[in-house]
Structure 1
Amino acid sequence: MQDFELSPIVAGLWRIADWNLGVQERVRWIEQALELGITSFDHADIYGDYHAEALFGEALKAEPTLRERMQLVTKCGVRLRSAQRQYRVNYYDTSAAYVRTQVEQSLRNLHAEHLDLVLIHRPDYLMDAAALADTFATLTLEGKVSHWGVSNHSASQFALLHGHYRLLTNQVELSALQMNALDDGTLDQAQQLGLRPMIWSPLGGGQLFTGKTEQAVRVRSAMTAIAARYDISIAVLAIAWVLRHPSRPHPITGTGRVEGLRDAVAALDVRLDAQDWYAIWTASKGHPVP
């Protein structure tokens, strides 16, 4: 597991169904991401109402050589109600049968022979950690999944599963507008274990640019001044703020714009002064450090 690395910036495919790209346009988008050094692509079985993986997979089928140049990441474990899945409620399922079914479906969707990393999307309160670890081991032995991790798990939930099977990462939310991961122990745990977290929504779901809340306005004002001093955009600054954390996180983009990918990559060359990092923290919290 030690020789496996995600790219510093990860491309997120949550919204690929909204990008309205044809197959060859999707191929070109992937090629441009790879040219920027973004080689890891983050999916989930439920993205795009269960259609997003297949859209990406069509591009890989059209240009099979792309697969050997990338790391495929996906998630499973959420049973989301949809027209095709008439569940009574949305719920979580980490049973062996369901995880296997979804892994094998993701392989078909993505036209791939194996998945580099699969994450349990949300903490299943009915999870049997020992049984799930056995599922991981079996699917790995079969060559279907190389590495396993989790998403949105608390430090204790991560520790429970990690005690049964070595996990690679915890994908959590972090941005200048959402800082719970700084205080809830998940990033502390990542440093303790030497496992780099993945970060979703590093731009605050776009609220850094358009949000009307008092917090968003404060943060945007502070970041505008700081970004001007560094001669970078707010988008680059937002990613750099996340990257400044010593857990060495992998920010995940959510954009179909190649310029947005370039902004994320540009942040790798920015090293924020600690005072600037804390100035953004202060603006977000609305008060100075204790």
Structure 2
Amino acid sequence: MTVSRASMAEDGFEFSRLIAGFWRLKDWGMNDQEVLAFIEQCLELGITTMDHAMVYRSEEPFGRALALKPELRDRMEIVTKCGIRPVGFGKLGAKAVNHYDSSPKHIVASVEQSLRDLKTQYIDLLLIHRPDYLMEMEEIAEVFDRLESSGKVRNFGVSNFTTHQFAALQQACDHKLITNQVEFSPYNMGALDSGVFEQAQAYGTGPMLWSCLAAGQLMTGADEKAKRIMAAVNIVKEEVGASCAEQVIYAWVLGLPCNPFPLLGSSKIERIRQAASSEQYALTREQWYRIWEASNGAAVP
């Protein structure tokens, strides 16, 4: 079974429903050939969308691997992010204080560096990584226009924006913002009540969802909340015939009506294969709310 494809926006560019996340690539201990093999295995599963950010330091090792087999570029969509300037990050980093920078100069410099490191001529989707309290919406809109006209970026979006921040930037932009990448899992359900998912439905966009396994907290069951959630997940696992709890968690996330695109963060291809099968499990409302109730710690009022 291969992962399905969908557009993040109406009549828009298609991405794989599950996305390979490379946040921790620099810690995976893989050489270039091993990274290439991992990329190829993801592609074979239909996971064609690859998520990066400049601050992940994942772009350069990914680019080196891609350079070993550059024809793979035509089979994938590359997502990356800009706008965070940490201290000690070379010429694009901060001098003394970590900060956000959504100025046109920094966005352009970040894109140019990402293109060099990723060994590609274009980025399929560029995200502003975090809301910059000093961001000038019209300036961002104008630089988006320039990057699209130059062929360097094909689509634009944001990450970790509130609904008001997203709406304000969208109002300034001629280009449609096709996603807001936010944290969401059965452990961290804050996005359910933030309005982000309702806004995605209203705007016809698909949110990208990071840390769907709560950075491992769910699988380790380190606290009472995680234990409650996993107990509920395991009940649903038996009911639907899933082979592992992770499939149920991703099926729970995919059950949202807002056209979600969950990110996978594992370097283990077997876990990626298991996640790739999660689309076959459609939870009932009662099963979905069983997991919600376990996280909430109380029944639906």
Match of 1:89 in 2: 97
Using the alignment, how far apart are the partners of 2:25 and 2:74 within structure 1?
21
> 2:209 matched to 1:203?
no
SS of 2:124 mapped into structure 1: strand
| Structure 1 unaligned regions, length at least 5 | none
> 2:287 is aligned with what amino acid?
D
The superposition leaves residues 98-139 of structure 1 with CA deviations (integer Å, 9 ceiling, x where unpaired) of: 000000000000000000000000011111001110010011
- Aligned equivalent of 1:10, options 16, 19, 42: 19
SS of 2:154 mapped into structure 1: strand
- Aligned equivalent of 2:133, options 125, 136, 160: 125
> 2:276 matched to 1:265?
yes
Match of 2:72 in 1: 66
> 2:287 matched to 1:276?
yes
Q: Offset at 1:83?
A: 6.0
SS of 2:135 mapped into structure 1: coil
State how many pairs are aligned. 287
The superposition leaves residues 178-204 of structure 1 with CA deviations (integer Å, 9 ceiling, x where unpaired) of: 101110000000011110110001111
Using the alignment, how far apart are the partners of 2:293 and 2:205 within structure 1?
28
Using the alignment, how far apart are the partners of 2:281 and 2:85 within structure 1?
40
Q: Offset at 1:5?
A: 1.2
The superposition leaves residues 189-244 of structure 1 with CA deviations (integer Å, 9 ceiling, x where unpaired) of: 00111101100011111111113222111111111121122222111111011000
Q: TM-score, normalised by structure 2?
A: 0.93
Flag the 1:83–1:68 CA change in 2: closer, same or farther, 3 A: closer
Using the alignment, how far apart are the partners of 1:42 and 1:83 within structure 2?
20
Match of 1:226 in 2: 236
Using the alignment, how far apart are the partners of 1:283 and 1:275 within structure 2?
12
Using the alignment, how far apart are the partners of 1:264 and 1:90 within structure 2?
35
The superposition leaves residues 163-186 of structure 1 with CA deviations (integer Å, 9 ceiling, x where unpaired) of: 112201000111000101110000
Q: TM-score, normalised by structure 1?
A: 0.97
Using the alignment, how far apart are the partners of 2:12 and 2:177 within structure 1?
14
SS of 2:299 mapped into structure 1: coil
> 2:201 matched to 1:191?
yes
Q: Offset at 1:22?
A: 1.3
The superposition leaves residues 46-76 of structure 1 with CA deviations (integer Å, 9 ceiling, x where unpaired) of: 00xxx31000000111100010000000000
> 2:299 matched to 1:288?
yes
> 2:226 matched to 1:216?
yes
**Percent of aligned pairs with the same amino acid:** 45
Contact 2:85 2:94 in 1 (8 A): no
Contact 2:197 2:207 in 1 (8 A): yes
Match of 1:235 in 2: 246
> 2:160 matched to 1:149?
no
- Aligned equivalent of 1:140, options 148, 154, 173: 148
